[in-house]
């Protein structure tokens, strides 16, 4: 094994896929006497530094960020519109930088439900980075775990696959995350103790890490803490 990948292996061990529920932007803004949208804008800086640190520092292979759930559509039109504008700027503004770092961008969810201009930025970024071999970064925008499973069932039926051929491996190939390994570590910031319909199939055997730290305050030190906690867990996948 080459020195670089040996170092990465030592740092991440069995850790291949980290998924993050970036919660607490709104409360962070309120605590600082700022409008909620400001929290999302500062949250982007956290996302950017998290991506960079996990890619360059840890050489992590798969990272999925939960940006917007199908349930988030229930927020005020103002906030939803503001979040989408932020995403558009993130995807547009970060794609060159991600490309240079060898990151491959994917979208997880129902892209067709997002505003046209965001869809276009997303598709451009996906195309630009599709042949990269570094970290695969999944942006879960307009994502819902139950919808993902229903979409997979619909596609399996539409393809006429016989029931006896459907096993876990085949089913996984019909999920938005096709080709990505199951989640090893699921992190949620912002103090809530739930997974909110995020990657519910892929996190069946994940380790969970919950922290009260609000997303805009989640920095490299907090990432180190989460990854250290993961290393201290014993994963048995139902065995002894």
Q: Which residues are catalytic?
A: 23, 72
Q: How far is CA 118 from CA 85, 89, 107, 142, in A?
A: 8, 9, 11, 12
Q: Determine phi and psi for 66, rounding to 5 degrees.
A: -90, 105
Output DSSP code: residue 94. Answer: H
59, 70, 72, 172: residue in contact with ligand FPP (rule CB under 6 A): 72
- When the beta carbons of 139 and 174 are compared against ligand FPP, the nearer one is 139
Which two structure tokens, joined as six digits, stand for 158? 């539409």
7-15, 18-26, 116-124, 161-169 -> range binding ligand FPP (CB under 6 A): 18-26
- The pattern of x and - marking residues 97 through 136 that bind ligand FPP according to CB under 6 A reads ----------------------------------------
CB of 166 to ligand FPP, least distance (A): 32
Q: What's the rounded Cα separation, in Å, for the pair 177 and 136?
A: 11
Q: What's the rounded Cα separation, in Å, for the pair 182 and 199?
A: 9
Q: Tell me if 26 contacts ligand FPP by CB under 6 A.
A: yes
Q: What's the rounded Cα separation, in Å, for the pair 195 and 219?
A: 21
18, 19, 63, 83: residue in contact with ligand FPP (rule CB under 6 A): 83
Q: What's the rounded Cα separation, in Å, for the pair 219 and 221?
A: 5
Cβ atoms of 105 and 98 closer than 8 Å: yes
Q: Tell me if 22 contacts ligand FPP by CB under 6 A.
A: yes
CB of 221 to ligand FPP, least distance (A): 19
- When the beta carbons of 215 and 230 are compared against ligand FPP, the nearer one is 215
Span 172-211, contacts to ligand FPP by CB under 6 A = 190
CB of 132 to ligand FPP, least distance (A): 18
- Cβ count within 10 A of residue 127: 11
Residue least distant from ligand FPP (Cβ): 26
Q: Tell me if 52 contacts ligand FPP by CB under 6 A.
A: no
- When the beta carbons of 42 and 185 are compared against ligand FPP, the nearer one is 42
Which two structure tokens, joined as six digits, stand for 96? 């060159």
Describe the strand order of the beta sheet including 62-69 as a list of residue ranges. Answer: 104-108, 136-143, 62-69, 17-21, 185-188, 207-210
- When the beta carbons of 74 and 133 are compared against ligand FPP, the nearer one is 74
Provide the b/e sequence for 138-149 (b: ≥16 CB within 10 Å): bbbbbbbbebbe
8, 12, 19, 23: residue in contact with ligand FPP (rule CB under 6 A): 23
Q: Determine phi and psi for 51, rounding to 5 degrees.
A: -60, -50
- When the beta carbons of 32 and 127 are compared against ligand FPP, the nearer one is 32
Binding site for ligand FPP (CB under 6 A): 22-27, 40, 43-44, 47, 65, 67-68, 72, 83, 86, 90, 139, 190
């Amino acid at each position: 094994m080459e020195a670089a990948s040996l170092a990465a292996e030592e740092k991440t061990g069995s850790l291949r896929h980290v998924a993050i529920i970036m919660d607490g932007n709104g409360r962070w803004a309120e605590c600082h006497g700022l409008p909620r949208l400001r929290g999302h804008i500062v949250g982007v800086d956290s996302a950017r530094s998290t991506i960079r640190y996990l890619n360059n520092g840890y050489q992590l292979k798969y990272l999925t960020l939960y940006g917007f759930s199908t349930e988030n559509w229930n927020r005020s039109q103002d906030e939803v519109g503001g979040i989408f504008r932020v995403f558009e700027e993130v995807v547009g503004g970060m794609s060159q930088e991600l490309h240079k770092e060898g990151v491959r961008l994917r979208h997880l969810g129902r892209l067709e439900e997002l505003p046209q201009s965001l869809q276009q930025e997303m598709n451009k970024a996906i195309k630009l980075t599709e042949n990269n071999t570094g970290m695969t970064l999944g942006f879960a925008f307009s994502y819902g775990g139950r919808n993902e499973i229903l979409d997979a069932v619909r596609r399996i039926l539409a393809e006429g696959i016989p029931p006896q051929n459907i096993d876990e491996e085949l089913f996984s190939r019909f999920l938005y995350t096709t080709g990505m390994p199951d989640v090893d570590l699921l992190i949620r910031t912002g103090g809530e103790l739930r997974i909110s319909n995020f990657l519910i199939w892929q996190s069946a055997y994940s380790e969970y890490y919950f922290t009260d730290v609000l997303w805009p305050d989640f920095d490299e030190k907090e990432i180190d803490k989460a990854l250290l906690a993961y290393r201290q867990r014993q994963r048995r996948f139902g065995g002894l």
